[in-house]
Structure 1
């Protein structure tokens, strides 16, 4: 039964995730966190962040992670097949239709209407993650500086998002390592005293 639920949930994500990864993230959240409760909000946010830092499509990484979490390697395989299958089948079928009727007003209007829906879905998910990140931040000043530097790097300096994520990961790793070493040194000094 669980394998069937995995297949159906990820197949739905694959069917309705028009536009790729960013449009699929809210669908993943709805199916895996809200509906089936396979992962918590925090787990989802952490794995989304990690998945975005790794190369490759986010849909297959999230499907593999959540499928593995639910039913091991078989669950990961079922989830990945389910999320990819509708994309492959629809791509083959829809490309034939779109190329044949791409200039028809109805098809053109349908394609144009999807853009605002994707923007709203992505905006809502961004707002939710911003709220969770703000609430979970150890210091509001650090969170504010990180947010400001990210906006500056992405919008003003026009840096590639992958580069910004890589820099943030390196900085986070360096800061965490320094913080742990500082804490261990302090603990050892207090223990010796």
Structure 2
């Protein structure tokens, strides 16, 4: 089978059957790309997640672009990006066309209420898995907790937190880590 068609089918399926956004897609992308097809090593996949998170845009699209580019350069990136985005585009288009017909439907409202806890679990699971693979322990988990509290309680801009984290990471890598 044509490799590009395999890319398209794989990433279309990921885009079609994932609720909850990019973080909920991480375990599904990992299962397909790392475990099933073995296109990318697990360590490289973790790096792709980190890079995709630091780039502007949608996490799942960024990941699909980086994976496609790693596999087949620009044509691979275009195929995986389109395949990931197309299901959401089609679904949103259909919802927009027919929303007025079922916006107050009790069954639809109940369905969305039932999906919410599953989406939270889909987002929490890769977060804990990433924390484990990044060696986040009780000794250093205060960093993300402190950042979240600074944003939530003190109203500090997330952009400022990201810039400060980047500066601290640079200082650590240049001056502190070499002496450890």
For normalisation by structure 2, the TM-score amounts to 0.84
Q: Write the deviation string for residues 154-187 of structure 1: whole angstroms up to 9, x where unpaired.
A: 454354545433332221122212247x66xxxx
Q: Is the 8 A contact 1:98 1:107 kept in 2?
A: no
User: Which segments of 5 or more consecutive residues in structure 1 lack a partner in the other structure?
Assistant: 184-193
Give 2:95's aligned residue: 94
Q: Is the 8 A contact 1:47 1:62 kept in 2?
A: yes
Distance 2:158 2:36 in 1: 30
Question: CA offset at residue 126 of structure 1?
Answer: 1.1
Question: CA offset at residue 131 of structure 1?
Answer: 1.2
User: Which segments of 5 or more consecutive residues in structure 2 lack a partner in the other structure?
Assistant: none
Give 1:169's aligned residue: 166
| Alpha-carbon RMSD | 2.4
Cα gap change, 1:170/1:117 in structure 2, threshold over 3 Å: closer, same or farther? same
User: Based on CA coordinates, which of the two structures has the bigger radius of gyration?
Assistant: 1
Query: When the two structures are aligned, how many residues end up with a matched partner?
Result: 178
Structure having greater relative contact order (Cα 8 Å, sep ≥ 6):
2
Q: Write the deviation string for residues 108-130 of structure 1: whole angstroms up to 9, x where unpaired.
A: 11122221111111111111111
Distance 1:179 1:156 in 2: 30
| 1:1-193 equivalent positions in 2, closer than 5 A | 1-134=2-135, 141=139, 143-179=140-176
Q: Which has the higher helix share?
A: 1
